[in-house]
Amino acid sequence: MSAVEPKRTLSPLENVAPNTTQIDLEYLGQLQMIASCLLEGEGGTALVDPGPASALDMLRAKLGQRGLSVADVDHLVLTHIHLDHAGATGTLVRENPRIRVWVHERGAPHLIDPARLIESATRLYGAKMNWLWGEILPVPAGNVQALSGSERIRVGGRTLEVVYTPGHAWHHVSYFDAANGIAFVGDTGGIRIANRGYVSPVTPPPDIDLESWEKSLEQIRARHPTRLFLTHFGSADGVDEHLGELAERLEAWSDNVRKSLENSGDDAERANRFVQEVTASLARHLEEPEADRYARYVGLKQCWYGLARYWRKHGDAP
Ligand SMILES: [Zn+2]
């Protein structure tokens, strides 16, 4: 990935709570697509979801705006190991071997040996792998702190309650900062760009599980956070409405995909039709260019495949 050009103006850091800073990784030059969150305070500096290695130069530049560098980071707090959230983990640990990496126990083995992760991503992204994600290095087992999802961890001057929240991925956890009323919910909380009035699920293969997802949303609701922190993108308020809209849309998508499996045509045609229908729905709710940004950031075609896989496993879909 290209280095940050020296004269380019960086988008500003955003303070979302005391010692809690939203960092726009300006992924591949796109604003408000991938957010990391910097937690500072006693117990060591932490980054929630550091993003992919292709955005590392930007992460460094933004840490620099806070007078920090990778050498000052003590913890990486991962919601899950998808490359847009955690691809840079191995590279950061190589640079600063003091870093402790918090991750669900089902994700931990794939950080330590990313061969399968790389293999499945390569199947999907082919020649674009390096451009999209940069290098994906193994994380030494000694740096990894595996979580089951019932812990309390002390990082960045606060206690985070860890809660297992599968649905989007089997190895997904969320972190609740009760003192500040923030829930770091990764992709379980869906996609909502910069607190705008539209919440979208994100349902790529292979782990989508609707029953677990519903339970995970219940777990989030039960803790009454005042704000969610979404990787895509940033701080979001109106939590009850947000989660309600997400659940509704998830159900609508899942119905759409289940029915599409009964229609004639092949998967590529079904997926295309789904993309057209969701794109039309986005256009009804959002102005351009926002509707287009949502469609691109969510990755609608992959979302059809993720839900189709779920139904083929669980239903009587062909
Ligand atoms: Zn994900």
Neighbour tally for 3: CB within 10 Å: 10
Cα 263 to averaged position of ligand 1 atoms, centre (Å) = 29
Is omega for the bond preceding 176 within 30 degrees of 0, making it cis?
no
Digit-coded pLDDT (tens) for 73-96: 999 999 999 999 999 999 999 999
Cα 169 to averaged position of ligand 1 atoms, centre (Å) = 7
Gyration radius (Cα) of the chain, Å: 19
Cα 86 to averaged position of ligand 1 atoms, centre (Å) = 10
Is there a contact between 188 and 220 (Cβ–Cβ < 8 Å)? yes
Neighbour tally for 265: CB within 10 Å: 11
Cα 92 to averaged position of ligand 1 atoms, centre (Å) = 20
Cα 7 to averaged position of ligand 1 atoms, centre (Å) = 32
Look at residues 130, 66, 69, 62 and name the one whose alpha carbon lies nearest to residue 99. 69
pTM comes to 0.95
Cα 188 to averaged position of ligand 1 atoms, centre (Å) = 8
Cα 51 to averaged position of ligand 1 atoms, centre (Å) = 11
Digit-coded pLDDT (tens) for 176-205: 999 999 999 999 999 999 998 899 999 999
Cα 287 to averaged position of ligand 1 atoms, centre (Å) = 26
Q: Is pLDDT of 318 > 70?
A: no
Cα 42 to averaged position of ligand 1 atoms, centre (Å) = 29
Cα 28 to averaged position of ligand 1 atoms, centre (Å) = 17
Is 141 inside any structural domain?
Answer: yes
Cα 185 to averaged position of ligand 1 atoms, centre (Å) = 11
CATH number at residue 36: 3.60.15.10
Cα 6 to averaged position of ligand 1 atoms, centre (Å) = 31
Distance CA 10, CA 7 (A): 9
Burial class of 36 by CB neighbour count within 10 A (0 to 12, 13 to 18, 19+): buried
Domains: count for the chain = 1
Cα 82 to averaged position of ligand 1 atoms, centre (Å) = 5
Q: Packing angle between helix 239-260 and helix 300-314, nearest 10 degrees?
A: 70
Mean per-residue pLDDT, 142-156 = 97
Cα 231 to averaged position of ligand 1 atoms, centre (Å) = 9
Is 111 inside any structural domain?
Answer: yes
Is 76 inside any structural domain?
Answer: yes
Q: Is pLDDT of 122 > 80?
A: yes
Cα 58 to averaged position of ligand 1 atoms, centre (Å) = 20
Q: Is pLDDT of 252 > 90?
A: yes
Range in 97-101, 185-189, 280-284 the model is least confident about? 280-284
Cα 133 to averaged position of ligand 1 atoms, centre (Å) = 14
Is 170 inside any structural domain?
Answer: yes
Strands 73-77 and 100-104: parallel
Is 295 inside any structural domain?
Answer: no
Cα 208 to averaged position of ligand 1 atoms, centre (Å) = 10
Cα 270 to averaged position of ligand 1 atoms, centre (Å) = 23
Cα 186 to averaged position of ligand 1 atoms, centre (Å) = 7
Q: Which two tokens stand for residue 221?
A: 């609701």
pLDDT at residue number 47: 98
Cα 115 to averaged position of ligand 1 atoms, centre (Å) = 18
Q: Which two tokens stand for residue 148?
A: 């089951």
Q: Is residue 199 classed as helix, strand or coil in its secondary structure?
A: coil
**Sequence-ordered strand ranges (E) for 148-248:** 152-155, 158-164, 173-177, 182-186, 227-230, 234-236
Compute CA distances 310 → 41, 207, 219, 318, whole Å: 41, 8, 22, 12
Cα 34 to averaged position of ligand 1 atoms, centre (Å) = 11
Q: What is the per-residue burial (b if ≥16 Cβ within 10 Å, else e) of 238-252?
A: bbeebbebbbebbee
Is 226 inside any structural domain?
Answer: yes
Is there a contact between 235 and 195 (Cβ–Cβ < 8 Å)? yes
Cα 158 to averaged position of ligand 1 atoms, centre (Å) = 25
pLDDT at residue number 244: 98
CA atoms within 13 A on the CB side of 285: 19
User: pLDDT band at residue 43, thresholds of 50, 70 and 90?
Assistant: confident
Cα 306 to averaged position of ligand 1 atoms, centre (Å) = 12
Q: Residue 103: give the domain boundaries.
A: 14-250
